[in-house]
Amino acid sequence: MLLDAAIELGAERPLAAIPVDDIVREAGVAKGTFYVHFADRSAFMVELHTRFELEMRRAVAAAVEGLSPGRDRLLTGARASLDACAAQSATKSLLLEARADPSIANAIARRNEAFAQDSTDDFAVLGVADPDVAARLFVAMVAEAALVEIELGRTDERVRSALGSFVTNTE
Amino acid sequence: MLLDAAIELGAERPLAAIPVDDIVREAGVAKGTFYVHFADRSAFMVELHTRFELEMRRAVAAAVEGLSPGRDRLLTGARASLDACAAQSATKSLLLEARADPSIANAIARRNEAFAQDSTDDFAVLGVADPDVAARLFVAMVAEAALVEIELGRTDERVRSALGSFVTNTE
DNA sequence: TGTACATCAGTGAACGCGCGTTCACTGATGTAC
DNA sequence: TGTACATCAGTGAACGCGCGTTCACTGATGTAC
């Protein structure tokens, strides 16, 4: 499948630097096939990021299912994110490129608002002054944590508890 | 000047998407002139990011001059970073693209280690378990804060104090 | 069961264009005598 | 002071190639009768 092929190649180099030629070769189909399934390269890239984003959401939602807002839910969600990132070979490219390309950034960012609401609720319960801003900063920190783990080549408890050290336990 | 011209254009669209043609037109020089000063486009981009990075370092160093490691120095440095980012029209592009392009990322990342030592010292004083990891996560958070301010179109005290809310005062 | 036709994912050669890079040339400035 | 020559930043037309996109064609599958 074309999307899977791109993810495969995206483990080695930036997704943005992978030509359609390479993607179809990896997928074992002809070049024209690419355009049977996608309007253009840009639509393909958006689809790639959309899949990743939905996967992350699903993983987090499943992990925090039933937990009430607060520190524990926040950090449980963060750990689930890191697990999902670790399971995805092109995570680094996906995280670093998602916002650099405006067409992708627009397509994704718009949908993320509802998702971000969860962490905002967590910070609200923690009594933070501006929970929406705090949530956004925290998400950036989790993404960075994912990149650290990728560089280490494994999940790392030190990284994960470092995340926790930024969130004071007030409960 | 070519670097300034690129920064100018980088306020509107990703630096990576700006052709050499546009840069020289903005600078008011011929295309060949570009290659009189830079070996190739990649060297130019690295230089662009290097300038930004040095500017940030200088701003932070000046701001924390004389302060001893700890929460206050950490947050003072963060605020100085945000001020420097706000003063730079292409900050968004610079922050988002620096790590997506491997050739730039390599050139920059190597030099940043010494710089990161300062924040690591701050976290060490704060008694955090893994100060180096915490420092790295914090830097990511500051970068995100800069992006928030760019979207707002102005500096914002709420964003800045949100950064502080992640760092418990233990002094 | 067999024949004719429609549909459509898939094909891959060819196209074209954007863009980075080159290079022979210019003209201003500096140096030698 | 004037002439010849060297240097070198700057020029811009031309090149070439990588890469996204197109399109006429194929062949397998489904449907009608």
* CB atoms inside a 10 Å sphere around CB A68: 10
Backbone CA torsion sign across B76, B80, B81, B85:
positive
Cβ-defined contact of B13 to A97 (cutoff 8 Å): no
* pTM listed for this prediction: 0.93
Cβ distance B98 to B105 under 8 Å? yes
Nucleotide nearest to B16 (CA to C1'): C19
The C1' atom of D31 and the CA atom of A100 lie apart, in whole Å, by 49
Alpha-carbon distance A81 to A142, whole Å? 8
Chain C bases near protein Cβ (<7 Å) = 9-14, 18-24
Cβ distance A132 to A120 under 8 Å? yes
Does residue B169 carry a pLDDT above 90? no
The answer to whether B137 contacts chain A (CB < 8 Å) is: yes
Residue B130: which residues within 8 A CB-CB, separation 6 or more? A158, A159, A161, A162
A170 pLDDT band, cuts 50/70/90, is low
Name the minimum distance, in Å, from the CA of A61 to any CA of chain B.
23
What residue has its CA nearest to the C1' of D22?
A: A32
A166 pLDDT band, cuts 50/70/90, is very high
Element (H, E) at B149: helix B131-152
Cβ-defined contact of B168 to A163 (cutoff 8 Å): no
Does residue A167 carry a pLDDT above 60? yes
The C1' atom of D1 and the CA atom of B34 lie apart, in whole Å, by 39
Cβ-defined contact of A14 to B158 (cutoff 8 Å): no
pLDDT digits (tens, 9 = 90+) for A63-89: 999 999 999 999 999 999 999 999 999
